[in-house]
Chain A
Amino acid sequence: MSEAQVKVHVDKVNKSYGENHVLRDISLDIAENEVVVMIGPSGSGKSTFLRMLNQLETPDNGTIIVDGYDISDKNTDINKVRENIGMVFQNFNLFNNYTVLENIMLAPVELKKLDKVAAEKKARELLETVGLSDKADMPVSSLSGGQKQRIAIARALAMTPDIMLFDEPTSALDPEMVGDVLDVMKNLAESGMTMIIVTHEMGFAKQVADRVVFFESGKIQESGTPDQVFDAPKNERLQEFLSKVTHA
């Protein structure tokens, strides 16, 4: 991978919560347009890692460079970097005090990326792409989980990010809602978005991932193409993990 293509560069990052050493010497490079899926048992450090990429968590040491900005450097304006990194949470975290449209428009208008008219136009287009045009003026509390998550994706996209982070975006959904959200994500992947996704949806991973990364005990134990990881796993713990999730 040449320097120009690298979107995310992580080098020897460590993180502890008290005695709990959550991330151990993690290094990982992610290229532009790449879709990386992170799998692993719960508590293995996937969320912590993901949240470090937009500094919702700070590493104890190591280097993290995103979009060319060294975010482990205190002098970096993290708000500027975050504008280009969208994040989608397991629990949606839509702003309860706004309507659907206002949720999507808030950041572009507040950060003066767009004026109100342009922001609304863009918001309506995004609602169209996630298939929820009719919900524009609804309060968010009236939506189902699947709808909320699609709105959350639209909200992140309104800032035209070039990286999207997903932390178990379908884990809090009823099974019949999962498909709609995954479809939106697939389309996004096809459009060339750089994506880092934590998920337990193995079928989805196989379909869209360029690379699958297996986390266990705060370490990347194995990584490779979906074929390598799912069909010919080398790491013993990965084998064990896969047998558990596929037989569950």
Chain B
Amino acid sequence: MFKKGILISFLAMLSITTFVFAMGDNLVHADKPNYIISTDATYPPFDFQDKNNQYVGIDQDILKEISKRENFTYTLKPMSFNSAAQLVSNGQADGIIAGMVITEERKAVYDHSTPYYKTGVAWIVKKDSKIKSLKDLKGKTVALKTGTAASEYGKSLQAKYGFNVKYFNDTDTMYNDVAVGNSAATFEDMPVIQYAIKNGVKLKVMNADNPGNAGWYGFFVKKGENKALLSAFNRGFAAIKKDGTYDKIVAKYLGANQSTFTGAKKDNFSVLGILKANKSAFLKGLWQTIMLTFLGIILASIWGVVLGVMGVSQNKFVRGVSTTIIYIFRGLPLMVLAFFIYIGLPGVIGAKIPAFTAGVLTLVLNEGAYTGAFVRGGFEAVEVGQMEAARSLGLPYRTAMRRVIMPQGLKIMVPSFINQFIITLKDTSILSAIGLLELTQTGSLIVARNSQGFRVWAIVAIMYLIIITLLTWFSNWAQKKLQ
């Protein structure tokens, strides 16, 4: 009983922590309107994190200036571009600023602001590439970022020039694929690539004077909604354009040198330097990963045991429910489930789900289904004679399960539990897709601004290994205690 008490108070504490976590970024001043604005987490020079983990860039500075002048506050939701856009189209966020080009297709779904930046599509190759014209791309691979206007432009040239397409979720990985020669070329918005090259990315633009598909960036809200926000943006934009603030912002970034945002050079050329410069980011990411893992493991284990117990119920219907739940949630890829819960579900239930809650829920449903399957299997693996002996003494089915079958089954399952714990830890990295700033997403953000892929990912990998080691060590200790 005593142990149960501890467990319960512990769970209560955890739920409070989760709640605070989830609510923390929603605490706002009541007198000003507060909007949720989504953005692309890694899209320099428009949107990216500086060395103090603040989101900066042309978009971000414009937004900040306008919010000051128009007297509103906002909660920023940085994530992958695609998720950021969907967040607005399904009402989870009020607006999006993310270097998003105004297109006819988007006009059908969103309302857009005054165009604020002229852009066009560049096509880009490796610095020392022998490719001279688009015709040379025949049979080669072209890297594109999912869901961007630049990628659509690239795709529209595919049939004509006969190249293959490979899709990426973030800019940095895509550039890298071209820089190392895996892909022959990529398409990107002109200012973005110019900024990247200025900052040392080893690529070159092939059509600087002749951008493809020239267009304009806009700020977007869901069609027919958030009219006040949209007009505030337009008014504010006109004002900063008029008084020269806008030009200063653009000059600040396109004339910027990378070290302005990432810290001194020496900080970025050693593991220790990177660790020191990004200490708080790494710690936050690490903590988020630990919290996700911890809550995921505990709640998924509880849910899994419930599913497992249901799976060996005497009642056919209850068994069927368990089997169905396990079948569905084991079958769904984790990322699909995360998107469904975070982006799809709110549209149906009409309530916003904080990313952290959505992340934990995703883990619980997915890992819980796997746990349920091996828990049921573990119960079934107990010799039938044990149940027959218990029943022959007059013990009811439930008592026999609880006192004889389950303790033996759980013992059989211990290695599966430990295995599932480690899988849960690794699966938390997939949740970066919904913008959770856990360890993997933290790594992506840091690489996006300092381009030190090798060192940063090495640090992240070692952090994972340390947690896995601690987790394994703890599990083995618990296993010994059990026996």
Contacts and interface: CB of A to CB of B under 8 A. Distances in A.
6 contacts: A79-B394, A86-B393, A89-B389, A94-B389, A95-B389, A155-B393
Contacts of A96: 386, 408
A83 B385 CA distance: 18
Per DSSP, chain A at the interface is mixed
B444 to A, nearest CB: 48
Contacts of A87: 389, 392
A28 interface: no
Contacts of B411: 97
Contacts of A91: 385
Given A95-B404, A110-B403, A159 B393 contact: yes
Interface string B397-417: 001000110011001000000
Contacts of A106: 393, 395, 403-404
Contacts of B25: none
B390 interface: yes
Interface in B351-398: 383, 385-386, 388-396
Given A97-B408, A97-B411, A110-B403, A159 B394 contact: yes
Interface size on B, as a range, is: 10 to 19
Contact of B399 (A54, A89, A110): A110
A80 B408 contact: no
Given A95-B404, A97-B408, A97-B411, A79 B395 contact: yes
Contacts of B403: 106, 110
Contacts of A89: 385, 388-389
Nearest to A90: B385
A107 interface: yes
Per DSSP, chain B at the interface is helix
B404 A107 contact: no
A48 B391 CA distance: 16
B385 A97 contact: no
Nearest to B409: A97
A86 B392 CA distance: 7
B141 to A, nearest CB: 58
Given A96-B408, A97-B407, A106-B403, A111 B395 contact: yes
A83 B391 CA distance: 9
Interface string A61-97: 0000000000000000001111101110101011111
A52 to B, nearest CB: 12
B399 A93 contact: no
A107 B407 contact: no
A159 B390 CA distance: 12
Contacts of B394: 79-83, 107, 111, 159
Nearest to A109: B403
A79 B396 contact: yes
Given A96-B408, A106-B403, A110-B403, A85 B385 contact: no
Contacts of B396: 79
A110 B403 CA distance: 9
A111 B393 CA distance: 10
Nearest to A102: B403
Nearest to B408: A97
